Amino acid sequence: MIENKTYKILYTLGYPHVYAGSQRQLAELIRQLPENIEATILLSREGIVAKMYREMNFRVVIIDPGDDLNVFGKKIQGYSWWKKASLIFPFFDYNKNILKFLKKEKFDLIHAGDPRSVLLMSRAVRQSRIRMICQLHTERGISSFFWNWFERLPEKIVLISNFAKANLGAAARAKSMVIYPGVPEMKLGGLQLNWLKNIRTKYTIIGVFSTVIPFKGYHHLFDAFKILNQKGHLKNVIVLCLGDFIEEEKLYQNWLFDKLKQSELENITFTGWQQYPYDFLEYVDIMVLPSVKKEILNIGEKSREVRGSEGFPTVNLEAMSKGIPVVATDVASVSEQVEDGITGYVIPPSDSAALAIALEKLIINKKLREEMGEKGRERVEQLFSTEEYARNYLKLYQDLLG
């Protein structure tokens, strides 16, 4: 246990506009910190993450680097070399502001939530000489130049799975360790979902709880349900999609809804982002996560490469903890969560036919769903305890600060 004195830890997140699994995991860790650790969360802009954390009474600080650096997804990769070079000026200005903040606050440790937040404040952290660790959730999603730069900066890289080691160079692997995330608190909002309760008396409900972006593979889910509906499952299955519609992916979302109409997939419905998704989870029979690894996606006359950036999808563990079987694609760390044929099915990515086959096995066999669901619940209890997750981080903090 960390000795009985006050420590100040700064938690940084590079994606302030998406509140999903990794953000919920961080909230769970902060909730379990001892009283002598003061937590501050640094974000680059206001948004849903700041809103949610403030509602939990966490201290949130916003230091905005400006529009040129507050870009997400693949947008910055489309910049010209001249545009990329010009980012050095807002980068230096931002790091001056960060350095002033770090000197004023006198933090003992920086816990970065992702490589983006490490890179964004890298100069200030080096100048401040504050020790830093970084939690690595996803597959490599940035260029080799920036990735190699990132690997040199943290004193410790905390991986959320053994799979993530494949992303690291030899030196980075030597300073890495694995801490499996736990299942965050699944807070219910008391929503009155009688309509969903009534639907469940007649239909099997399949849940898709993920942001509506290309690598989450909604288009493959649509293709799988074209197959399933042709086999008569339009009459007995409803697909419930909960996920945020982020501005950067409007083109994909519009294309997706055109595809939905053209394919007459009347049993697929979207609710948008939900503050209390676990109220909906109570009525789900099967959870599906059809994420992409790497593919070329054709949207009208435009083609784009889609690369997966899954890490350790929390939604799989959340479903398993509720006794819900999971069908997920074999990307990132999914096979460390879902045991194929035991707690659900792990299928090849971008394979709509395989997705349809796996889903149909569970749709037509309630007993199999119940058996796999119970095995999944046992697996979460054994391997993915929130208490163990927090204990491991506190031990790491002790090793660095003690």
* Confidence label for 2 from pLDDT (cuts 50, 70 and 90): low
Which residue intervals of the chain bear CATH 3.40.50.2000?
Answer: 7-182+385-401, 194-383
* Confidence label for 75 from pLDDT (cuts 50, 70 and 90): low
CA distance 33 to 5: 13
For residue 77, pLDDT over 70 is answered with: no
* Confidence label for 307 from pLDDT (cuts 50, 70 and 90): confident
Give tens-digit pLDDT for 78-94. Answer: 677 787 788 899 999 99
Mean pLDDT estimate for the chain: 92
Write down the CATH number for the domain with range 7-182+385-401: 3.40.50.2000
The larger pLDDT score, comparing residue 119 to residue 76, is at 119
Give tens-digit pLDDT for 323-382. Answer: 999 999 999 889 999 999 999 999 999 999 999 999 999 999 999 999 999 999 999 999
Asked whether the beta carbons of 135 and 117 are under 8 A apart, the reply is no
CA distance 394 to 398: 6
Region for residue 66 given its phi and psi (left: phi exceeds 0; alpha: psi -120 to 50; beta: otherwise): left
Question: For 156-177, what is the mean pLDDT?
Answer: 90
Q: Is 38 helix (H, G, I), strand (E, B) or coil?
A: strand
pLDDT of res. 96? 98
For residue 1, pLDDT over 60 is answered with: no
Q: Is 106 helix (H, G, I), strand (E, B) or coil?
A: coil
pLDDT of res. 309? 76
Q: In terms of Cα–Cα distance, which of 216, 244, 213, 239 is closest to 329?
A: 216
Give tens-digit pLDDT for 31-68. Answer: 999 999 999 999 999 999 999 999 999 999 999 999 88
Give tens-digit pLDDT for 127-149. Answer: 999 999 999 876 666 667 788 88
Share of the chain above pLDDT 70, in %: 96
For residue 311, pLDDT over 90 is answered with: no
pLDDT of res. 142? 65
CATH architecture entry for 194-383: 3-Layer(aba) Sandwich (3.40)
**Got the DSSP string for 303-368?**
EEEEE----S-HHHHHHHHTT--EEEES-TTHHHHS-BTTTEEEE-TT-HHHHHHHHHHHHT-HHH
* This prediction's pTM: 0.78
CA distances to 38, 58, 64, 108 from 6, in Å: 7, 17, 28, 10
pLDDT of res. 3? 64
Question: For 302-307, what is the mean pLDDT?
Answer: 89
- Let me know how long the chain is: 402
For residue 10, pLDDT over 70 is answered with: yes
